[in-house]
Structure 1
């Protein structure tokens, strides 16, 4: 049975979006044209983006571990990836 596409972005897409936003934020902060209050708000947003990136990377690592585990063939099916013996 095909999986339904979720309304949430994939962890990879979320990572890429968050990383791009973080890079842009850092670039703005490096120019030094922000007030102290703007810098603090930007730093707070940056910490949130960093945490989202970390979480997405952890999810990707878990997915790779599950898919690589020969003791858990159901994991591949859960992620919609055919098992090697099905190919």
Structure 2
């Protein structure tokens, strides 16, 4: 059954992010397996791009929330996150 907009709105952002990330990982695994037809691969790739964009947006929103929590008066002056290598 498809999710409705009201159901998606009730899902906590972290849970929605985790679900999207899990689905993206499953798609990658299926595509790497090489068993999909061209049409299935294209549909999976398209879905994967959408999931990636959703995850990226969720991460950007989380970063903004952290900046606002650290300095609500000047969130733009907060230092950007630097990933550890």
2:51 to 49, 52, 70: 49
TM-score, normalised to structure 1's length? 0.70
Retained in 2: the 8 A contact 1:18–1:49? yes
Runs of 4+ in 1 over 4 A off after TM superposition: none
Gaps of 5+ in 2: 1-8, 75-85
Once the two structures are superposed, what CA deviation does each residue of 1:9-61 show, in whole Å capped at 9, x if it has no partner? Answer: 22211111100000000000000000000000000000000011001001100
Which protein is bigger by CA-based radius of gyration?
1
Q: Give 3-state SS (helix, strand or coil) of 1:71's partner.
A: coil
Give structure 1 stretches of 5+ with no counterpart: 1-6, 73-87
Q: Secondary structure at the match of 1:33?
A: coil
Count of residue correspondences: 66
Q: Looking at both structures, which has the greater relative contact order when contacts are Cα pairs under 8 Å and sequence separation is at least 6?
A: 1
CA RMSD of aligned residues (A): 1.4
